[in-house]
Amino acid sequence: MIDVVHDMQAVFRKLLHSMSRPGEVSTLKSTIAHTDRWSCHEATYLTILTLFDAEVSFHIVSNKQKKNLEKQIAEYTLARNAPIDEADFVIVLQGTKEQTILEAMGTCKIGNLLDPQHAATWIVENERIVQEGNLILSGPGIQQQTTIQLDISDSIIQARNERIKEFPLGIDMILTDAKSQVLCIPRTTTIVLKGGTQ
């Protein structure tokens, strides 16, 4: 059962914290009974339940069957399923092929100069998020720099960097993992690969 007041607000506070402190890992906890059958990470569906409502649209990026999850999200949150170039939220399920993600990355919304907020927010699943690793983050909300390790490939990071070039246009990302951890990378954050360039 969804307890909007307690669970969702706690999740929202954590997401907000992670979004304002890019690279800092938070763990989402809920009292939601695990009888709910969700074919995604707990951190993913908690984020979805917290951020989605009837006013937003979403698109799932996956190579597997995704009809059930689409239906479930729509039923629980009233959000609309939409094509990738219209979706307010893009959800990448774990195990999705790099090529599929790159294609979505290339076509998703990044806002326009009048309304930069009309951009897609990405929710990307990882097996494991690690604080400290090969990605160097810097920018607002980060003192000097911080490093993290994700499962997603370097070329996806490069594609993301490509799409945030023209600030204030760009995409914001929420990374989730199997251990209910989340980490955020807003469009203001610069990502550099260790030993490489942007």
Partner 1 sequence: MVTWRQVTMNLEGGRGMMNRRRRTEILIQGNSDLAREFAEHIMEHYPYREVMSPRYGLTMIKMRETAKNSLFHLGEVLVTEAKVEIKQQIGIGIVIGMKEELAKHLAIIDSAFKANLKETKEWEERLLEEEESILTEKIKKQTELLETRVQFETMDM
Partner 2 sequence: MGYVAVKGGTEAIEASLKRLTYERLRGREVIEIKTIQSTMRGLIDQVMSEASLYEPNLAALAIKQAEGSMEEAVFLLRAHRSTLPRLYYSQTVETDRMFVERRISASFKDIPGGQLLGATSDYTHRLLDFQLIHETKEAIEQWLTDYEQERSPKLPSKNLIYFSKVVDYLREEGLFTEHEVDNTPPDDITKKSLEFPASRSERLQTLTRGQTGAVTSLGYASLRGYGQVHPTVGEVRVGMVPIYVAPPNETTEDQENDYYIGEVKITEVESFVPVTKNYNQQENDLEFEIGYGICFGQNETKAIAMSILDQCLEHPEASFPTHDEEFVLLHIDSVESTGFISHLKLPHYVTFQSKLDSVRGVKQEVRKNAK
What residues make contact with partner 1 under the rule CB under 8 A?
A: 1-4, 35, 75-76
Binding residues for partner 2, rule CB under 8 A, total: 7
When the beta carbons of 32 and 183 are compared against partner 1, the nearer one is: 32
Q: In what order do the strands lie in the sheet with 130-138?
A: 146-149, 130-138, 190-193
When the beta carbons of 54 and 196 are compared against partner 1, the nearer one is: 54
Q: Output the six-digit token pair for 25.
A: 């890992």
Residue 156, SS3?
A: helix
Per CB under 8 A, the segment of 19-27, 48-56, 144-152, 186-194 that binds partner 2 is 48-56
- What is the per-residue DSSP string for 39-91? SS-HHHHHHHHHH--TT-EEEEE-SS--HHHHHHHHHHH-PEE--TTT-SEEE
Q: Which of partner 2, partner 1, none does residue 16 bind to, with CB < 5 to 8 Å depending on kind?
A: none
Residue 18, SS3?
A: helix
Listed in sequence order, the residues at least 6 apart from 49 whose beta carbon sits closer than 8 Å to its beta carbon are: 2, 7, 8, 11, 76, 77
- Choosing from 64, 71, 118, 194, the residue that interacts with partner 2 (CB under 8 A) is 71
Where would I find the beta strands (DSSP E) of 156-195?
Answer: 172-177, 181-185, 190-193
Q: Is 16 in the site for partner 2 (CB under 8 A)?
A: no
- Which class for 191: exposed (0-12), middle (13-18), buried (19 or more C-beta within 10 A)? buried
Would you give the binding string for partner 2 spanning residues 73-92, x where CB under 8 A is met? Answer: -xx--x--------------
When the beta carbons of 37 and 115 are compared against partner 2, the nearer one is: 115
Per CB under 8 A, the segment of 31-39, 53-61, 120-128, 166-174 that binds partner 2 is 53-61
Per CB under 8 A, the segment of 24-32, 57-65, 67-75, 129-137 that binds partner 2 is 67-75
Q: Which of partner 2, partner 1, none does residue 98 bind to, with CB < 5 to 8 Å depending on kind?
A: none
In the complex, the residues that contact partner 2 under the rule CB under 8 A are 53-55, 71, 74-75, 78
